[in-house]
Structure 1
Amino acid sequence: MNSRILEADSMWLEYEGRKILQNIYIKLQTGHITGLLGRNGTGKSSLMQMIFGTLRGQSQSVRVSGDYFAYPYQQPRLISYLPQQAFLPPNLRVNDVCKLYEVDFAALCRHFESLEQYGRTRIGDLSTGNRRLVATLLVLLMPVAFTLLDEPFAALSPINIEQMSKVITEQRARKGILISDHAYEQVLGLADETYLIVPVGRSILLKNTLAELEEFGYI
C-alpha cells in the first residue's frame, strides 16, 4: 500500500471572539495511529469536524498527499468520522445500515460475535452500548484512507474496549487513524504519535509523552 499523508494546518476557530483553535498543525499517515489529547473545551471535537469538512472555521487547510480539499468528507473513500453523538438512523435495521457504509455485517460479527443476533434489529432498538459499538465498527471498517474517532470507547464495557482496541490496531494496516478519548492511557497504548491541544488552542506533538502531559497539567 502506498503511504498517504493528511496534513491539517492553519486551523483557526473562534466563537464570538473567543479563540478555540489557532495555528493548529496535525499530520496523519496511513499505517499510523495518531492520538489526540486535551482537556474538555480545548477543541478536539471541533478540530476533527474541521478536518472532516463539516465545520468551517476562520481559517483551515486540509491536504492529502499535497492535494487541497475544502470538504474532505465529499471525496469518495477518503475519510470517515465517528462523532460523540448518535448519528445512525434509528429506524433502519443493522443490516441495512451496514450496506450504506459499505461494510459487510459479517465483518462486524467477526470482531464481535455478540452482534450476530442483531442483523434484523432496528438501530433504535439496540442498547446504548450496542448502538455505540455498531457505529464505531461501521466508521472504523469503512473502505477509506483515514478515520477520525472521537470517544470510540464511550459506553463500551471494559471487555469491549479491549476488543475494540484490537480492531483499531488491525485497521492501522489499511488506513491512518486519529483517535481521541478520555481514556488517555488506552490512547497512548495505541498511538504511534500523540498530539496535545493545550488551553491556548495550540497543538503540540509530544516527544516525552508522559512527562509533557504532566508538565501541561493533563495528568
Structure 2
Amino acid sequence: MITIQNLNFSYSKGRPLFKNMDLQLQQGHIYGLLGKNGAGKSTLLKNIAGLVYPEQGSIRVLGHDPRKREPALLQEISFIPEEFYLPSVVSDKFIRANANFYPAFDRTYFNELIGEFEIPRKQKLAEMSYGQKKKYLIAFGLATNTKLVIMDEPTNGLDIPSKVQFRKIMAAALTDERCILISTHQVRDLDNLIDAVIMLDENRVAVNASIASITEQLCFKKVKELTEDVIYAEAGLGGYNSIQRNKWNEDSKLDLELLFNAVSQRQEKITNLLNQPAYV
C-alpha cells in the first residue's frame, strides 16, 4: 500500500530529518509510529499524505505519487492532524460541506460513532471542548471509509473513558483493505491496539516489525536480578523490567514503553534482531 524508498527530507539546510529512509506498509494492519520529540513522526505522515514533499527519494501510496495531489488518491486518505480547526457550524452543515469529497462516506456509521463518543449533535463544532472536537474528527475520518487512515496524536485531549472508547472503535475499524497509521508519544495508549510498530531514531527507521515477530524474538519479563541474558532493563518494584532474547520460545506480553526506551538508548542488539520488515 505504501512504499518509501531513499527518502531524504529537511526543513533547514544541513539538518536532515530523514536520510535515505526506506519503509513499506501493507493494508490490513494498524501501525504504531513512535519516536522522540523531533524524530519526524508528523513530518513522515505529511510526506505520505502529500502535504510536504521529499527532497530526494520516492513515495508511492496506493500506486500514486502523493506529491501530485490527485483526487483519486486524496479520496482514499483520511488525515487527522494533531493541530486542527473546526468551523462554527453544527455537525449536519459540516457533513454536507465535506462528506461529498469521500465517495464511500457512511452517514449511518458516522452517526453511530457520534453516539458512542457522546458528542452533542446540535452544538456548533467551534464551541466544543478540545476533546469533543478530537473525537468528532476521529468519527468523521473513520466514516469516510478511506483505504488509508493517518492519525497524528489522536489521543491528545481525550480523558481515560474516551481513550478506552477510542481503542475499541479503532480495533473494529480495521479491515483487510485498510491501513491505519497512528503516531503518538503516549506509548501506552497503543497497548492492545496496534499489530505492528515503527520506531524512528537518528534520521532512520530503527524498528519496523509486527508485534508477533517482536515477541517471537524478545521476551519481556520481570526479574529480581540482572543476568547476562538481559539486553535491557529498568528498575521497578521488586526487581527489574527486562528485555531478553527469547531463547526458549516463551510467551510474553510486549512492553511497548520498555521497548521504546531501549531503542531510544541505542540498544543495537535489539534493533539488529528486529531489522526485518513487519510484513513481507
Does TM, normalized by the shorter one, top 0.5?
yes
CA shift, 1:117, in A, is: 6.4
SS at match of 2:156: coil
CA shift, 1:16, in A, is: 2.6
Aligned to 1:82: 80
Cα distance in 1, alignment partners of residues 193 and 159 from structure 2: 18
Cα distance in 1, alignment partners of residues 32 and 119 from structure 2: 33
TM-align CA RMSD: 2.4
Determine whether 1:127 maps to 2:123. Answer: no
Aligned pairs (5 A) from 1:4-19: 5-14=1-10, 15-19=12-16
Change (3 A) 1:23 1:212: farther
Deviations 1:33-69 (A, max 9, x none): 1110001000000000000001113124222455544
Change (3 A) 1:153 1:31: same
SS at match of 1:215: helix
SS at match of 1:86: coil
Residue 29 of structure 2: which of 28, 32, 42 is its match?
32
SS at match of 2:264: coil
Give me the TM-score of the superposition, normalised by structure 2.
Answer: 0.67
SS at match of 1:70: helix
The answer as to whether partners of 2:34 and 2:198 remain within 8 angstroms in 1 is: yes
Aligned to 2:263: 216
Aligned to 1:179: 182
Aligned to 2:109: 107
Higher relative contact order (CA 8 A, sep 6+): 1
Change (3 A) 1:183 1:126: same
SS at match of 2:2: strand
Corresponding letter in the other structure for 1:86: F
Query: Percent identity of the aligned residues?
Result: 23
Instruction: Give the structure with higher Rg (CA).
Output: 2
Cα distance in 2, alignment partners of residues 160 and 113 from structure 1: 12
Task: Report the more deviating stretch, 180-189 or 52-61.
Answer: 180-189
Deviations 1:170-210 (A, max 9, x none): 11115110001122122242111111000x21012144565
Q: How many residues align?
A: 212
Corresponding letter in the other structure for 1:214: N
Corresponding letter in the other structure for 2:80: L
SS at match of 1:203: strand
